[in-house]
Chains A and B, each alone.
Chain A
Amino acid sequence: MEIGREGVINIVVAVALLAIPFAAVVLDETFYITLATRMAILALAAVGLNFALGLGGLVSFGHAAFFGLGGYAAGILATHAFNAEPLLLWPIEILGSNSMPVIWLTAIAISALVALPIGAISLRTTGVYFIMITLAFAQMIYYFAISWPAYGGEDGLSIYVRNGFPGVNTLNPLTFFLICYTLLIVALFLFAVFKDSRFGAALQAARQNETRVAAVGIAPYRIRLAAFVISAAIAGLAGALFADLNRFVSPSMLSWQMSGELIILIILGGTGRLFGPVAGAMIFVLVEYFLGGITERWQFFLGLTLLVVVLFARGGFIGLVAGRTRHE
């Protein structure tokens, strides 16, 4: 298979992200591993959003809801496992868990289940109304989390020991990075495959011309709903990892600022581009860390960067270096 210019850039971005933690080990600067892990997790969440936003043109301003739900799934399961109290006794007994695979599957399932009705209602609207209704749903979940004292309410929930993965020591920062990185690569692979499939063709065509797609006998609604649910499931998985990275879950993961950050990541990196979210997350975390160290008002500079990208580089970072998208 021929690798185009974008393919080369994608490989460079992937290798760069992988190289950061190894360089950190050599330089004995463990903190940079955490930074790279943060990049990988935010990139994973944004790859999720990219299904809806990039391929489907669905500007969801509520993806923090799924990111946060994944986080709470991890936090709640881990807390119950730590305290050795079952989550539920009746009608079936559900125990907590500190095993990552169990937590991941739970996070994916919960996010997808919640995304199904939210998507089913939101997708009846388009444009600004879609943005607002997804935001409204996310805010509902946010305020629910704040007002539910059982799991920390406004103060959030701590995870005392990072959850485990069979056969490896997840407390080792490099190991945990590699877990996150692997999941990111799997999600990117799925994105690439789905994009080129019949499903991806219908989803992208529905973004380009909804009425016209209906007139060839493809119903955009169901295609979009599937994309929305897949998108939420991946964001939920990222949320579970994020909780394990910080060993802490709080309502801020569910906040509208978080939803906004995910959109910003995609726009910075390149909307609809395979590695857009990865490049975007790397830029975002770098700006956040280095400018955040210099000034508290680093977000001002993030805003400036975003402005420049939107005005002068519509394809984001990937678009800038790889040129326009060429569909076959």
Chain B
Amino acid sequence: MNEPILEISGLSKNFGALRATDNVSLDLGPGEIHALIGPNGAGKSTLIHQIAGTLKPDDGVIRFLGREVNEAGPVARARMGLGRSFQVSSLAPEFSALRNVMLAVQSRQGSSFRFFKPVMRDRSLLDPAMAALDRVGLAARADVPAAELSHGERRQLEIAIALALGSKAFLLDEPMAGMGPDGSKSLTAFLSALRDEAPILLVEHDMDAVFALADRISVLVYGRIIASGSVDDIRNDPAVREAYLGNAE
């Protein structure tokens, strides 16, 4: 395999006596979807926060594109090309879907210290933003304020934003949440194609989607990775069945 895009080694994080992340190592290679699963409270969100830079690990190293990024904040990591989607929040709920994506395009183009040109007449923002919305199938809803989009549409918008950022890796936090069966099916197909553009670290509860998409799966329980491997490995791993799949289904 090639150099990994994202590489995490020996990551640990304590909240008081609680060991939320316990010596976690995982990596994300080019063109792959690496799914991170685990029961509620396993520490998936804490791990995502550390990868995105909103939380500082106590120990361990995070490398992105071959560079150590432990000291880089979330803004710097986003600018390097780490595209993160969020579970619940929208970027700018009062803005239309289009303006949300335009904000990502604006960030990618560089400085936001431009005071005079109106954004709504700026083709260099409008066109790429519209293209990103079109790719996730949200073009028809471009003018709707993000707050008025359905839950599923907001997940699509999150992905359009990550696309518009020109991300070199995607960090997707439960993109399927709140999607109807049709929505998840089309999103699954979309993500499957997306991996060729940039690899995806996927945190997801929808097991059908995970099994359909993942090249590799890591299982996180009590902050520790108890198993990591192909879909078949994980399906047949007794420890995983015990800890997770067994009582989840």
Listed in ascending order, the chain A residues whose CB lies under 8 Å from chain B are 193-194, 196-202, 204-205, 208-209, 211-219, 222-223, 226, 325, 327-328
A199 touches B114 (CB 8 A): yes
B161 touches A216 (CB 8 A): yes
Query: What does DSSP make chain A's interface, helix, strand, loop or mixed?
Result: helix
CB contacts (< 8 Å) of B54 on chain A: these are: 211, 214
B94 touches A327 (CB 8 A): yes
Cβ-defined partner of B112 (8 Å) among A209, A211, A223, A325: A223
| Bound Cα distance from A222 to B117, whole angstroms | 19
Interface centre among B79, B86, B91 (most CB of A within 10 A): B91
B113 touches A218 (CB 8 A): no
Residues 88-119 of B contacting A (Cβ, < 8 Å):
89-96, 98-99, 102-104, 106-108, 111-119
| Bound Cα distance from A328 to B98, whole angstroms | 9
| Bound Cα distance from A194 to B98, whole angstroms | 19
Q: Assess A217 versus B78: contact at CB under 8 Å? Given A193-B115, A201-B106, A226-B113.
A: yes
B74 touches A209 (CB 8 A): no
Kindly list 10 other residue pairs between chains A and B, CB separation below 8 angstroms, not including A199-B112, A211-B89. A193-B118, A198-B111, A198-B119, A198-B122, A200-B119, A209-B91, A212-B92, A214-B74, A215-B74, A325-B94
10 A-B contacts, Cβ less than 8 Å apart?
A198-B111, A198-B114, A199-B112, A200-B119, A201-B106, A208-B92, A212-B90, A213-B91, A217-B75, A327-B96
| Bound Cα distance from A75 to B107, whole angstroms | 44
A208 touches B94 (CB 8 A): yes
The verdict on B18 contacting chain A, using a C-beta distance below 8 Å, is no
The verdict on B128 contacting chain A, using a C-beta distance below 8 Å, is no
B118 touches A209 (CB 8 A): no
Interface centre among B54, B111, B118 (most CB of A within 10 A): B118
CB contacts (< 8 Å) of A218 on chain B: these are: 75, 103, 106-107, 112
Cβ-defined partner of B91 (8 Å) among A196, A200, A205, A328: A205
What are the 10 A-B residue pairs with the smallest beta carbon separation, nearest first?
A: A217-B78, A202-B112, A217-B79, A205-B92, A196-B118, A217-B107, A198-B114, A208-B92, A219-B75, A214-B74
A205 touches B103 (CB 8 A): yes
| Bound Cα distance from A196 to B102, whole angstroms | 12
B93 touches A208 (CB 8 A): yes
B78 touches A327 (CB 8 A): no
| Bound Cα distance from A133 to B60, whole angstroms | 37
A197 touches B115 (CB 8 A): yes
B115 touches A204 (CB 8 A): no
A201 touches B94 (CB 8 A): no
CB contacts (< 8 Å) of B120 on chain A: these are: 196, 328
Interface centre among A196, A211, A213, A215 (most CB of B within 10 A): A215
B103 touches A216 (CB 8 A): yes
A174, chain B: closest CB distance, angstroms: 33
CB contacts (< 8 Å) of A200 on chain B: these are: 115, 119
B90 touches A201 (CB 8 A): no
CB contacts (< 8 Å) of B93 on chain A: these are: 208-209
B72, chain A: closest CB distance, angstroms: 11
The verdict on B203 contacting chain A, using a C-beta distance below 8 Å, is no
Interface centre among B89, B103, B112 (most CB of A within 10 A): B112
| Bound Cα distance from A205 to B112, whole angstroms | 12
Cβ-defined partner of A199 (8 Å) among B52, B78, B113: B113
A173, chain B: closest CB distance, angstroms: 34
CB contacts (< 8 Å) of A226 on chain B: these are: 113
| Bound Cα distance from A205 to B145, whole angstroms | 13
The verdict on B44 contacting chain A, using a C-beta distance below 8 Å, is no
Residues 60-77 of B contacting A (Cβ, < 8 Å):
73-75
